[in-house]
A and B are shown apart, each in its own frame.
Chain A
């Protein structure tokens, strides 16, 4: 009997070992990128996956080369700190949202600002390109979402249905839908053509929404709320499918991202200085990346490689690159 028992144990342990390998990614810290002089607010990979852009409170955007982690260039033109950046789909343009109430479009190759978008009346908090990269969406503390034309720099529309600062805007893959999240606890889905909102998502007791994003397949929406939860909603059924907890998110607007690896992961920063990685299906925390000395505010997953970039706030001021 003892031997039998032993056998079964062995068997399961090997099974477990296999599944262990499958389920737990093992991201290792590879590079630390140092160079910003104040807290970093956002990091984003370009669609090609070779550059990383980081925006900071020190009014600068720095472009880093991903593979070697070397610094490439700095884009300076803003008057106040920058809250968010976004790449265009051809990796040529960058848009930045700043506290000086403007957005700036940069040509990354030339390293210069080509257009400044003015119109918001308060800090601009979030920005994103449309997939065709001819339109920019931005959300601001003045509770509006603005739609801008990239070529002319003019504001096409101003959508004001939120009653609190808008913290995130994102479009789906084909650009037909826009999602906007705000501190009033609502996530609104808009139809970009008609600029009408078609759906609203709300958690129980309406915690402020700090981040929203479409999933790569466009059917789900990931929302981060300030009650230490990440929710994954199904768009059609309007139901919350998954909940990811374990991290800390009560004060800051922390970015989250989908990782298109196998198994699929959700990556998010946290206010306890760790980067959390969940398995999308099972909702369990598969890894906690440790290394930052301040709140990990922004994380991004490289679209081509299995690299995660994370950035932290004032006490840390570094970007860390983790690789599987």
Chain B
């Protein structure tokens, strides 16, 4: 840019002039005038402002310049070179910069005089790069729609990836707010992926993130999510287009930053079996991972449409704050000999560390606790042992009773058999039975019909069986008791899927009384005064005997019932024993030992009872 000086005076920088106005106005440029009402360009070295007219640089040309140094600085220091923006349109313009500037409907870059007075030297807010435009920021992001020329503005540098994008992603919260994507247009911001990486507000962008954090977040994020579906849908975005940290964004979208659903607070026991899957994924190439995450994101976002935007922003800000401190503010992982920072919200950098620490803790503390436990007398243990003993004894008693029952059963069978065998021959003695008054009528309990008392027993038994056989009584489980062969009927009913739980010998539904042959004798042992056995047997033919109807069945049932009772009792005892055992083991179990500790302050006193009477 040589030869553009009109005034060769060097002049001091911004020197105040006791000038014509009588005011102390700062002066600029080679012309040393305080005039600021025209386009000016600032030197990036000496920070002096120069009028475009004075050095023959138009506004248009200045747009193509990224770094500009005044002639003097360039002469003094040959290293300083004017740098231009390297874009096609700019190069074109570069070649033309000597020519007349085109008419442009560019953004009015007029600066107010007051602006310049106030802040001639300071970098205006929002500008991150060295200034090459006039100091005050241009209002609003009005863009020129010219082909292939990306306008710069206060919030757009025009050169970063985000600024180069032409299409909205359609998935971020800002896009979803847009009218064209069906949103209420309340937020009114550019697509997140199009927020300039240099100049946009921090809270509108993605974060520049550190590698470590990415991995850590990914891991935990993966912990929560199911393995992603097959990545069949190719994304519209290529890898290069993806912003710096979509992972965090995804976390945010899925509300991962709710206080109670922080992914890294998940149960450490869940982690191990997810870890192998995790590690496999971690090995994959990064961009593939990103693709997978994209599909996941799509899934999650469907559910998140109705979230309040405000909360989103707040959470975002909150995360921003913690992340910007990263990783220097995070405490160190508590894992043994681990120097990595802990995950936010956790005490460890990874589950491994947590496990290692827990294992170490157990190795150190447990032996000592076991010793303590064994040394001090535990009265509860003694109680437990006594209880167990008692239960044992009762169990034994119950089993003895069972055996008793067996014996009785056998006896009974023997009696029945003997009775049958004994009188194979026809017996002529027919007991007329009681010569009771046959006029008396009893009403049957089951059917309600009046019956003769002589046949009452027989009738009622039959009647009862008839009604009972129409009902079912069962449970879902077949009987599986060792040694109890024919206790319950256990016939399977396919309709109700139950096993009949009546006593087998008594079940009217599933066992019919066998036909009684004509010559069979009743055989019921006769008793005198109810209890004393006479040794005699009833000799009436079974068919006729009305007093001892069904006596074998009833006796067998008696025995069986007793057995059932004993089994119940055994069951109960077993349950009690189990409880006591469990309590005893839990008391001295790993968890209990690690958690509880009784410190004895006085080594002499191990049992307070001994010191009771002072």
* Interface residues in chain A, defined as those with a beta carbon under 8 Å from any beta carbon in chain B: 28-35, 37, 50, 62, 64-74, 110-111, 304-307, 321, 323-324
Question: Among B30-38, B206-214, B262-270, B593-601, which stretch is in contact with chain A?
Answer: B593-601
Comparing B59-67, B377-385, B468-476, the segment that makes contact with chain A is B377-385
| Bound CA–CA A30/B606 (angstroms) | 9
Q: How far is the CB of B50 from chain A (nearest CB, A)?
A: 69
A33–B596 CB distance below 8 A: yes
Q: Which residue of A lies closest to B605 (CB)?
A: A30
Q: A34 touching B599 by the CB < 8 A rule?
A: yes
Residues of A within 8 A of B583 (CB): 73, 111
- B387 CB to nearest A CB, Å: 9
**Interface residue? B562 (CB, 8 A):** no
Taking CB atoms, residues of chain B closer than 8 Å to A73 are 380, 583, 586-587
Residues from chain A with Cβ under 8 Å of B611 in the complex: 323-324
| Docked-complex contact B587 and A69, CB < 8 angstroms | no
Name the B residues within 8 Å of A30 (CB-CB): 600-602, 605, 608
**Across the interface, which residues of A come within 8 angstroms of B598, CB to CB?**
31-34, 64, 68-71
B597: nearest chain-A partner, CB-CB:
A34
Complex: how many Å from CA A290 to CA B446? 78
How does the 8 Å CB contact mask read for B573-614 relative to A, with 1 for contact and 0 for none?
000000100010011000010011111111001111101101
* Closest CB in chain B relative to A138 CB, distance in Å: 28
CB distance from A54 to the nearest CB of B (A): 11
In the complex, residue of chain A having the shortest beta-carbon distance to the beta carbon of B591: A74
Q: A68-B606, A323-B605, A324-B614 are in contact. Are A32 and B599 (CB under 8 A)?
A: yes
A321 and B608 in contact, given A68-B376, A70-B379 (Cβ under 8 angstroms)? yes
Beta-carbon nearest neighbor of A304 in chain B: B612
Chosen A-B contacts, 7 in total, with CB atoms closer than 8 Å, are A32-B601, A66-B608, A68-B376, A69-B608, A73-B583, A323-B611, A324-B611
Q: Tell me the complex Cα distance, A73–B583, Å.
A: 7
CB-CB nearest in chain A for B609: A67
Closest chain B residue, CB of each to CB of A50: B379
Q: Identify which of A64, A70, A73, A324 gathers the most chain B CB atoms within 10 Å of its CB.
A: A70
CA distance A71 to B593 in the complex (A): 9
| CA–CA, A70 and B373, complex, Å | 9
Query: In whole angstroms, how far apart are the Cα atoms of A35 and B373 in the complex?
Result: 14
Contacting pair A306 B587 (CB below 8 A): no
Question: Smallest CB–CB gap between B571 and chain A, Å?
Answer: 16
Is there contact, CB below 8 Å, between A71 and B596? yes
Residue in A37, A66, A69 whose CB lies within 8 Å of B600: A69
Answer whether A68 and B607 are a contact pair too, CB < 8 Å, given A73-B583, A110-B579. Answer: yes
Residue of B373, B586, B601 with most chain A CB atoms under a 10 A cut-off: B601
* A34 and B606 alpha carbons, distance in the complex (Å): 17
Of the candidates B380, B597, B606, which one forms a contact with A65 in the assembled complex, judged by CB atoms under 8 Å apart? B380
A69 to B376, CA, bound (A): 9
Chain B interface residue count, Cβ-Cβ cutoff 8 angstroms: 27
Cα–Cα, bound, A35→B612 (Å): 26
Asked whether A35 lies within 8 Å of B602 as measured between CB atoms, the reply is no
* Closest beta carbon of chain A to B144's beta carbon, Å: 64
A26 to B96, CA, bound (A): 102
Closest 10 pairs (CB-CB, A-B): A35-B596, A32-B599, A71-B596, A69-B598, A34-B597, A72-B380, A305-B612, A70-B378, A67-B608, A29-B601
Question: How far is B377's CA from A30's CA once the two chains are assembled, in angstroms?
Answer: 15
Given known contacts A73-B583, A305-B608, A37 and B595 CB-to-CB distance under 8 angstroms: yes
What CA separation (Å) do A88 and B596 show in the bound complex?
A: 26
Distance to closest chain A CB from B374 (angstroms): 11
Minimal Cβ-Cβ distance residue in B for A261: B614
Q: What 1/0 flags go to B335-376 for Cβ under 8 Å of A?
A: 000000000000000000000000000000000000001001
CB atoms of A35 and B579 under 8 A apart: no
- Give Cα distance in the complex from A324 to B613, angstroms: 10
A83 nearest CB across to chain B (Å): 22
Instruction: List chain A residues, Cβ under 8 A from B602.
Output: 28-30
User: Across the interface, do A72 and B587 meet the contact criterion of CB distance under 8 Å?
Assistant: yes
A285 to chain B, nearest CB (A): 21
Minimum distance in angstroms from A321 CB to a CB of chain B = 7
CB closest chain-B residue, reference A62: B596
The distance in angstroms between the C-alpha atoms of A30 and B598, with both chains bound, is 10
The reply to whether A31 and B601 contact each other, CB–CB distance below 8 Å, is yes
Residues in B433-454 with C-beta less than 8 Å from chain A:
none
Known: A30-B608, A68-B606, A307-B608. 19 other contacts (CB 8 A): A28-B601, A29-B602, A31-B599, A32-B597, A35-B595, A50-B379, A68-B377, A68-B598, A68-B608, A69-B600, A70-B373, A70-B376, A70-B379, A72-B380, A73-B586, A305-B608, A306-B614, A323-B608, A324-B611
CA distance A313 to B605 in the complex (A): 26
Q: Which residues of chain B come closer than 8 Å to A71, judged between CB atoms?
A: 587, 592, 596, 598
CB closest chain-B residue, reference A69: B598
Taking CB atoms and an 8 Å cut-off, the chain B residues in 122-145 that contact chain A are: none
Q: How far is the CA of A121 from the CA of B395 in the complex (A)?
A: 47
A71 to B587, CA, bound (A): 7
Chain A's closest residue to B377 (CB) is A68
**A110 / chain B contacts, CB cutoff of 8 Å:** 579
The CA of A72 and the CA of B379, in the complex, are separated in Å by 9
Q: How far is the CA of A30 from the CA of B600 in the complex (A)?
A: 6
Please state if B601 and A67 are interface contacts (CB–CB under 8 Å): no
Interface-central residue, A71, A305, A324, by most chain B CB under 10 Å: A71
Give the Cβ gap from B613 to chain A, nearest Cβ, in Å.
9
Complexed CA–CA distance, A30 and B607 (Å): 10
Q: Which one of B586, B596, B609, B612 lies within 8 Å of A34 (CB-CB)? A: B596
**Chain B: CB-nearest residue to A37:** B595
- Minimal beta-carbon separation of B15 from chain A (angstroms): 67
Complex: A111 Cα to B614 Cα, angstroms: 34
CB distance from A116 to the nearest CB of B (A): 21
**What distance in Å separates the Cβ of A253 from its nearest Cβ neighbour in chain B?**
26
User: Taking the nearest CB of chain A, how far is it from the CB of B260, in angstroms?
Assistant: 16
CA of A74 to CA of B589, assembled, Å: 13
Chain B neighbourhood of A324, CB < 8 A: 611, 614
Complex Cα–Cα for A305 and B613 (A): 8
